[in-house]
């Protein structure tokens, strides 16, 4: 059985700040559990939103050649994906959602049974709304979602304050260990029995003539 690997996306424009501090704690714990990790910072990249051109269905990748296409093969090879975001107006930041919209939509490879996890960082509020928002990328893609002892959030106005959030940082370690367990369990069951049966996609529109 190959060593599992997890890709961690830092959506914050501060590449060494609060969100990164939480992701780095997860990465250290995942490494201790025998999981390879890579943290990718996208928060300061110029990443435009999807324009619904449909070219990705022809090309097999997004028509805009930026970080989305650069990260796509790493996502395909990964067994898990952690998405970290600061809270902007009780939501994930725009650069990250632009990135995820295009990454999930433009890539033709299956995401099912890659393990997903969301990490949110805020000075005070808006974390649960951001947490819910980001988890939807996983749950529409048949990706099991790893959880911790509490919602996956840290609080603080800088990395030093985040490190003082002992409950939040502890939960990053718990989340990482739970994620590592899920990765191993899925890999073992895949070898033993394969993945669950896949049905052909059925699309239903809600407007009737």
pLDDT tens, 76-90?
A: 999 999 999 999 999
- Residue 208 pLDDT > 80, yes or no? no
So what's the pLDDT on residue 10?
Answer: 98
- Residue 1 pLDDT > 80, yes or no? no
Beta-bridged to residue 82, according to DSSP, are 8, 117
The number of CA neighbours under 13 Å toward the Cβ of 111 is 24
> Phi first, then psi: what are they for 120, rounded to 5°?
-125, 145
Rounded average pLDDT over 127-144: 98
- Say how far residue 135 (Cα) sits from the centre of its chain: 8
- Residue 42 pLDDT > 70, yes or no? yes
For the chain, what are the domain ranges?
Answer: 5-193
User: 10 Å Cβ neighbour count for 127?
Assistant: 24
CATH number for the domain whose boundaries are 5-193? 3.40.50.360
User: 2 pLDDT band (50/70/90 cuts)?
Assistant: confident
Rounded average pLDDT over 106-131: 97
Please answer whether residues 150 and 172 qualify as being in contact, where contact means their C-beta atoms are separated by less than 8 angstroms.
no
So what's the pLDDT on residue 58?
Answer: 96
User: 205 pLDDT band (50/70/90 cuts)?
Assistant: confident
- Residue 206 pLDDT > 90, yes or no? no
- Say how far residue 85 (Cα) sits from the centre of its chain: 10
> Phi first, then psi: what are they for 154, rounded to 5°?
-130, 155
Please answer whether residues 56 and 72 qualify as being in contact, where contact means their C-beta atoms are separated by less than 8 angstroms.
no
Rounded average pLDDT over 176-201: 96
Query: What distance, in Å, lies between the first and last C-alpha atoms of the chain?
Result: 53
Q: What percent of the chain has pLDDT over 90?
A: 95
Rounded average pLDDT over 140-169: 98
Burial class (CB in 10 A: 0-12, 13-18, 19+), 87: buried
User: 209 pLDDT band (50/70/90 cuts)?
Assistant: low
The number of CA neighbours under 13 Å toward the Cβ of 86 is 24
> Phi first, then psi: what are they for 164, rounded to 5°?
-80, -15
- Residue 37 pLDDT > 90, yes or no? yes
CA distance 181 to 101: 28
Mean pLDDT, rounded, of the chain: 96
CA distance 22 to 6: 15
- Residue 47 pLDDT > 70, yes or no? yes
CA distance 167 to 150: 9
Rounded average pLDDT over 40-68: 97
């Amino acid at each position: 059985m190959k060593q599992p690997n997890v890709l961690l996306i830092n959506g914050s424009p501060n590449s060494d700040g609060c969100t990164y501090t939480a992701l780095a704690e997860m990465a250290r714990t995942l490494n201790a559990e025998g999981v390879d990790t890579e943290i990718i910072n996208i928060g300061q990249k110029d990443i435009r939103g999807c324009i619904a051109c449909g070219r990705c269905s022809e090309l097999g990748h997004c028509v805009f050649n930026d970080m989305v296409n650069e990260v796509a093969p790493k996502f395909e090879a990964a067994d898990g994906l952690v998405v970290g975001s600061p809270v902007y107006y009780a939501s994930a930041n725009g650069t990250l959602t632009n990135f995820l919209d295009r990454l999930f939509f433009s890539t033709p490879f299956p995401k099912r049974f890659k393990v997903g996890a969301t990490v949110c960082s805020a000075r005070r509020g808006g974390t649960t709304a951001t947490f819910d928002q980001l988890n939807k990328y996983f749950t529409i893609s048949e990706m099991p979602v790893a959880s911790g002892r509490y919602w996956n959030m840290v609080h603080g106005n800088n990395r030093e304050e985040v490190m003082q959030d002992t409950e939040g940082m502890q939960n990053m370690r718990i989340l990482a260990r739970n994620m590592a367990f899920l990765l191993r369990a899925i890999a073992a069951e895949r070898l033993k029995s394969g993945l669950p049966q896949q049905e052909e996609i059925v699309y239903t529109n809600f407007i009737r003539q």
